[in-house]
């Protein structure tokens, strides 16, 4: 059921004074939403419902896959972590950031299939990047404990070779309590905040928003509106704020959440996207009003540990200055 919140005003007007966005305030709002199982969205607030029927359907579908002998191939496909290499050109990328490499990991769901953290660590060990970004959904459940994911997260952090560090945002499976634990590992968690990276006197910025699928607040819109001009990237759990980011002059939007559909029909046609808006941006490279976007298929799985017509991906993006010599193509390969 939808409950309208009269004070829940969304604005893109820069003249409106933004609310204070201290970590303490964010934590307080997130805690209430998590505790009461409420999801806040652009149009209001409603109760998060995890239907038992979905669990039962998943179990029945897993049984069906075993009966028709497809389960094992789907499982092997999900376990294979494919490294996706992507080159993107931007006309206003500062020259000092030419060939800047961003490693993008998302939807790890580290406690769903045992050993996921170890497998990811082994893959990323050979990859060198300037910056690593993590776009949420680190655990399986949406409630309760999260300490079980901390050891595999540490393994991933130790395997990373990222000069400018690791930036993270939270997803709809995550709890606000993860932020402190991640920061103790050396991960910078962005909760509707902007991080600036300098090379000499040139800069780019990365704005990280809290999950808009369940935990949208006006702080996310204000973080977008407040950011300074220049080359700016936004990292968000889902593509659902694509239009707000484009309106605020962002050049690049990085996200995940959809798993690319995880179990798709032939041709990669998804049965479900788990998006309320921006459904056409459920997978891969996309563009909106001059802003480029990438929706990563995710490194883990959820529901049933299988993938069909999708892949578990680790993405290494190289930013280039200027126009592309030819149409942008993604290439893929296994380490
Ligand atoms: Fe998610």
Q: What domains are there in the chain, each with its CATH number? A: 21-333 (3.60.21.10)
Q: How far is the CA of 321 from the centre of ligand 1 (A)?
A: 32
Strand-pair partners of 333: 83
Per-residue pLDDT of the chain (335 residues; tens, 9 = 90+): 333 333 334 344 444 454 566 888 899 989 988 887 766 554 344 555 555 667 778 888 889 889 989 999 999 999 999 999 999 999 999 999 999 999 999 999 999 999 999 999 999 998 999 999 999 999 999 889 999 999 999 999 999 999 999 999 999 999 999 999 999 999 999 999 999 999 999 999 999 999 999 998 888 999 999 988 899 999 999 999 999 999 999 999 999 999 999 999 999 999 989 998 899 999 999 999 999 999 999 999 999 999 999 999 999 999 999 887 765 555 555 44
> Beta-carbon neighbour count of residue 103 at 10 Å?
22
127-130: Cβ within 8 A, 24+ apart: 127/83, 127/103, 127/161, 127/314, 127/316, 127/335, 128/101, 128/161, 129/101, 129/102, 129/103, 129/160, 129/161, 129/162, 129/163, 129/316, 130/100, 130/101, 130/102, 130/162, 130/163, 130/164
* 48 CA to centre of ligand 1 in angstroms: 13
Give the pLDDT of residue 40.
Answer: 57
pLDDT value at position 331?
53
Check residue 132 and give its pLDDT. Answer: 98
pTM, rounded to two decimals: 0.88
Going from the Cα of 237 to the center of ligand 1, the distance in angstroms, rounded, reads 7
Q: How far is the CA of 212 from the centre of ligand 1 (A)?
A: 10
211 Cα–ligand 1 center, Å: 8
Q: In this predicted structure, what is the pLDDT of residue 6?
A: 30
Distance 172 CA to ligand 1 centre (A): 5
Q: How far is the CA of 95 from the centre of ligand 1 (A)?
A: 34
Please list all protein residues whose beta carbon sits less than 5 angstroms from ligand 1, which is an ion. Answer: 137, 171-172, 257
Residue 267 CA, ligand 1 centroid: distance in Å: 23
What's the CA gap between 36 and 178, in Å, rounded?
18
């Amino acid at each position: 059921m939808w409950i309208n919140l009269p004070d829940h005003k969304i604005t893109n007007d820069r003249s409106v004074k933004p609310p204070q966005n201290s970590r303490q305030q964010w934590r307080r709002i997130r805690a209430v939403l998590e505790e009461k199982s409420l999801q806040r969205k652009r149009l209001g607030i409603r109760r998060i419902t995890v239907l038992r029927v979905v669990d039962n359907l998943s179990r029945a579908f897993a049984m069906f896959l075993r009966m028709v002998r497809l389960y094992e191939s789907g499982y092997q496909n999900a376990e294979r972590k494919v490294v996706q290499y992507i080159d993107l050109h931007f006309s206003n990328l500062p020259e000092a950031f030419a060939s800047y490499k961003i490693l993008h990991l998302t939807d790890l769901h580290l406690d769903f299939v045992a050993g996921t953290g170890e497998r990811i660590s082994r893959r990323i060990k050979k990859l060198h990047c300037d910056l690593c970004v993590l776009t949420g959904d680190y655990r399986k459940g949406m409630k309760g404990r999260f300490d079980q994911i901390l050891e595999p997260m540490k393994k991933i952090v130790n395997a990373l070779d990222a000069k400018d560090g690791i930036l993270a945002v939270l997803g709809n499976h995550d709890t606000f309590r993860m932020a402190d634990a991640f920061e103790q590992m050396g991960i910078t968690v962005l909760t509707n905040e902007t991080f600036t990276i300098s090379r000499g006197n040139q800069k780019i910025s990365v704005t990280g928003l809290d999950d808009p699928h369940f935990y949208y607040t006006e702080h996310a819109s204000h973080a977008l509106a407040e950011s300074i001009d220049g080359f700016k990237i936004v990292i968000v759990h889902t593509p659902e704020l694509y239009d707000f980011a484009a309106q605020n002059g962002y050049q690049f939007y990085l996200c995940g959440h959809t798993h690319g559909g995880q179990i798709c029909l032939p041709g990669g046609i998804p049965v479900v996207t788990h998006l309320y808006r921006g459904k056409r941006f459920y997978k891969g490279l996309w563009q909106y009003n001059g802003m480029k976007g990438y929706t990563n298929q995710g490194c883990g799985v959820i529901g049933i540990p299988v993938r069909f017509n999708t892949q578990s991906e680790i993405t290494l993006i190289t930013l280039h200055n200027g126009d592309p010599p030819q149409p942008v193509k993604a290439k893929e390969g296994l380490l």
